[in-house]
Amino acid sequence: MTASSKHSDATDAKLGKDPVARTPRANGMPVAGSVGGAGGSADAPSGHSATLGGSYLTAEISAGALRHNFAIIRQHIAPSADICAVVKGNCYGHGLATTLELLEELTDCFGVATPEEAIVLRQLGCLRPILMFLPACGWASGQELRQALDRLIIENVMLTLVDADEVHAVSQAARRVGCQAEAHVMVDTGMGRGGAELGQAAALIEMVRNDPYIALTGVYTHFATADEGDLDFAREQLRLLLAVVDSSGGREGLTLHAANGAAMMELPETHLDMVRPGIPIYGYPPSDTLTANWPLRPCLRLTGQLMQIMTVKAGSRCGYGLTYQFERDTPVGLVPVGYADGYLRSLSGLSTMRIRGQDAPTRGRVSMDQVVLDLTHVPAARVGDEVEIISADPASPHSVANLARLAGTIPYEITCRLGRRVRRVLVD
């Protein structure tokens, strides 16, 4: 695995030394460089709002919280273990372009899902190793696939291989572009959601090892139940991964990795050479049932402004379907957030927001762009007041975790769905 650099190497990256160029290659073939350079902002609000310079919603991403969470993670893993920061899904909604420079300092490697995510990372100037989790092929064919593989190899993205057809396709692409591809084999040790089949994994590893156009630098698996109370299945998955690797030429030269955030927190024996935390980086525990109680700090705060205030009459209703009826004359305010921004419709009538230091309940249905807030207990509220829609305080009723509970979902969905209309800004 190429991600052997630690914090201090961030200085190199800043000085323009490309960690990619230090990548050891198995057979001395040329090494692809990163195109680097400025790219489009993956987090910019789309279309007109970017043009007009305005955005109704602001997601403040706390640099301090991100630093803190990485420090907590480093405290708990062996000094020899690398961190692969999982930044797929636009950094779980927190904004890749907004956070990348800081994350480059903090992590050793980045984990993404798709070719596009990998290429955007390089376009934004990412110099760290990038591992693409989804299988390299299968998502496209013909010319489209060939072009994508060529580009990924040139950009030195580490590809995930799961079967012999992929090995052939990647090997051919590497030959075409004249530089070695770097790959990890993913083994399905029981999750049943992709990866080399267990019975064929050892042979696949041998095959990749013997391919002169591919450098096999890692083997990994993914846990199905590390975030659930019973960890026996995860332990068995780990045993199977190690058995496969040991039966296929051993661990020499390989980065072995398995731990997602939950396993990282619950099962130290899964740390191996690298951990792959996603949700803990951003400050949320992977589930409610973990025994590990790491003091992570949520790094997201979402705000908007009160757009309009009106008084509705006793007996009147509000929102689509007129699902809520006011018992008395009530001051209400309009908040410019809706399910197009990732504020789930299933929060309708359940959630609160904070305004002028008070928690105010939402009323009626969440629509695409608007929510009605009951201002009965905030008589001083004025148009233009800041409304805190998501709080970074885990104890707040509108923290990511509590909104997830109210909506019957997981924190991942609350943050990942934050839409393109939300402006992301890095704050201290």
Ligand X SMILES: Cc1ncc(COP(=O)(O)O)c(C=O)c1O
The residues assigned a catalytic role are 88, 320
Among 115, 278, 283, 338, the residue binding ligand X under the rule CB under 6 A is 278
User: Which residues from 96-115 bind ligand X, rule CB under 6 A?
Assistant: 111
Task: Give the angle 62-92-90 at the CA atoms, nearest 5°.
Answer: 95
Segment lying near ligand X (by CB under 6 A), choices 151-159, 271-279, 370-378, 386-394:
271-279
Q: Which is nearer to ligand X, 336 or 411 (CB)?
A: 411
Segment lying near ligand X (by CB under 6 A), choices 99-107, 207-215, 278-286, 384-392:
278-286
User: Which residues from 286-345 bind ligand X, rule CB under 6 A?
Assistant: 286
Segment lying near ligand X (by CB under 6 A), choices 228-236, 277-285, 302-310, 381-389:
277-285
Distance of CA 294 to the CA centre of its chain: 19
Cα(401)–Cα(408) distance, integer angstroms: 10
Site string for ligand X, 221-260 (x = CB under 6 A): -x-------------------------------------x
Task: Give the angle 240-242-248 at the CA atoms, nearest 5°.
Answer: 105
Give min distance, CB of 386 to ligand X, in A: 30
Residue type for position 365? R
Question: Nearest 5°: phi and psi at 259?
Answer: -80, 115
Torsion of CA 402, 258, 205, 31, to 10 degrees: 80
User: Which residues from 38-77 bind ligand X, rule CB under 6 A?
Assistant: none
Name the strand (E) or helix (H) holding 116: helix 115-123
Give min distance, CB of 260 to ligand X, in A: 4
What is the end-to-end Cα distance of the chain in Å, rounded?
A: 33
Cα(271)–Cα(10) distance, integer angstroms: 22
Give min distance, CB of 59 to ligand X, in A: 18
Among 70, 133, 326, 343, the residue binding ligand X under the rule CB under 6 A is 133
Q: Which is nearer to ligand X, 42 or 131 (CB)?
A: 131
Among 45, 135, 277, 298, the residue binding ligand X under the rule CB under 6 A is 277
Cα(4)–Cα(79) distance, integer angstroms: 11
**Letter string b/e over residues 291-319, b meaning 16 or more CB atoms within 10 A of that residue's CB:** eeebebbbbbbbbbbbeebeebeeeeebb
Q: Which is nearer to ligand X, 93 or 261 (CB)?
A: 261
| Burial tier of 199 (Cβ tally within 10 Å: 0-12, 13-18, 19+) | exposed
Q: Which is nearer to ligand X, 86 or 371 (CB)?
A: 86
Among 94, 276, 301, 421, the residue binding ligand X under the rule CB under 6 A is 276
Residues that bind ligand X (CB under 6 A): 86, 111, 133, 222, 260-262, 276-280, 286
